[in-house]
Structure 1
Amino acid sequence: MNLLTQVSSSRQAVAGAASTAAFFLCEGLLGQHFDVVHDGVAEPQPGDLFLFPLASGGPGWWGAHAGVYCGDGEIIHLEGELQKHGKNHLLRTRGPAKVLRRRGGLDAAALQRRIRAAMDQTVEYDAVTCNCVHFALNLLGLGQLTGAMPFSVSDVHQEGCEGWCGPSACRPTHPSLISHSPSWSCQQPSSVAGSVPERTTGRSSSSPMSSSSQRQCVVTEFLLCKSIPRRGKVFEKVPENTLQPGDILLFPLGSSSGQSCISFLHAAVYCGDGEVIHFQNGSKRGSHGRIIKEGFRAMKKERGKCLIYRKKDKVDLNDFYMKVREVMNCEAQYHLGKNNCIHFALYLLGLVDFYMELVEIKKEDGSCGGGARSNQMV
């Protein structure tokens, strides 16, 4: 690295650190561009900025994790990789949020274009020069405040971008916020930003989960024959250039450069607008799973070429999108044999059951928007 490159890199690091510090420490900056929305957790608008505590939910919010509300109960954020999570999921795993709304409003169409462009990109995370705050402010059209960020979310997708990598500086660090209880405990944050979530417990199904052998049979038949027990062969392979919502994507479990056995594949479902939804084990310890959305091109860049299968009968898109919206705010235990990514993908298409629990926001009047749902075999 020559001297000029070193100087440029140092300036970028200083600018990145300064912009992050200014965001959290300078009330004038926040007051100039944002208003605090006291009921924003319960009634967010697209473009609202959510700030989650990194560690505890105490009065100090230095270093808070930032995400932007997209609508349909989803928040887009950068934490090592670019993902969409359900709002309720993030409130449960990270704790209570503060919600800021940009003064003067924003162009909703432009925001959605930036979101779609961002989901197509793979950008190298850096805690100093390219973090969750830089990403969120760029998404909201405040890129002038984040001069250190090495990309613009207004750009079109770039197939040649470097893959995501980086420290887990923006990942949840407070163990008490994450439940690994076999009864699937969950927190129900209240509608007032900064309040302490209530904790309730419950199971997603009133009947026992099907036996491991039955559930594994579903996976085996699908992977080997693209069929479902008692339904026969219901899928056909299709080329990538015909990709449409409801298609199942099978990725190798290894990286794009690694070797993987074709019998062991990770399943995702294409949602449209360049996004896929999938279910994966959330940690190396325990069985708490993660339901997330990612960009198709970014996922393909990370995991390698995929195989695409389409249900022979037409997918009921209304039912499919209803299920997608629901699962984005649900929690589920991951089990390699009984409740995995393939069961999840087939559930979205109305073919098998999937075991999950709905996470809810408690409203100011004490009511909830629904409850735990029991998903039976269809």
Structure 2
Amino acid sequence: MLPTRNPDERLKARGADTRPAPRFDRLSAEREADGWDIPEDDHLLRTEIVTEQPRSIITRNTSPDVPFDRSINPYRGCEHGCIYCFARPSHAYVGLSSGLDFETKITAKPDAARLLEQEIGRKSYKVAPIALGTNTDPYQPAEAKFAIMPGILRVLRDWNHPVTLVTRGQTVLRDLDLWAELAAKYMAAIGISLTTLDAGLARQMEPRAPTPATRLRMIRELSRAGIPVRVMVAPVIPVLTEPEIESILTAAREAGATTASMIPVRLPNEVAPLFRDWLDRHHPGKADHIMNRIQAMRGGRDNDPRFGARMRGQGIEAELMRQRFHLARKRLGYWDRTPMLDCSRFGPPPRKGDQLSLF
């Protein structure tokens, strides 16, 4: 059961409504009205951003469910506030709540570019595409101020290092020239997450993310710049966004997307109670129906964390969803997969005084 919301905090455009205790905390606190509250205590909850200086920036993984083995996350937490975000539980590892803390207490890593160049410059480093935006969005609102991404992209460009991106943040268009430079050498591909075409529903689910119309514009402008764009119909929420599978694929294809992917909604750990609370607040008449359909794809539970199942779901519900997606993707002429990125040119950029190559 989630704790009650702090009545002294006014929320504006937030996905979560409360702060459940971090998973690893042995103690939790519950607010209790004592009759002494006064109106002057009321305040608007604002985003807090702190910086950190990590010792490394590349994160490694061995998951069989994802197509990359290394990633970079310039930020911890995400102000977009998507209620279904699978990354919310990661805040528990630093003693923060997966609820409001995840979307209001953000950590930025401004030294990311220097650390990246240091790590890929080691003699032991073996090149493979680096994935950006795999946990939290590198083009979330904080990026407009901190501008960490241009430095990362310049390092990758100078070293001819391939890179992929998943985002829904329109600040990516600020770096269009850098992405286009990488794409011209077959070293970049971008995925744009598009969950719904309904602006009102998007505002509820993803309160500080760009509107669906803006995301379609992002696809259009990135594609025109020669960057391969994948539309990510993810997550698909039964009853709520599932009816839009075909219309999302159609709109994205018309905007220039060349590949498409889909993931049914998954609700790991603390995300499930937050999502249930959000349904009760915004869609109470559909809440039970939606959760029953989700559980039908997850073995009767809110979530199935097993490798091989967590990204796909199982059962008739999941299979019908996949068939609809694949048929629409084929009908609309999407490519089967994004072209492989070129790793053959990787190497240190020429320095002043270096002997130039003849070829």
Greater share of strand: 1
What band does the TM-score fall into relative to the shorter chain? under 0.3
Greater helix percent: which structure? 2
Q: TM-score, normalised by structure 2?
A: 0.26
TM-score normalised by structure 1 residue count:
0.25
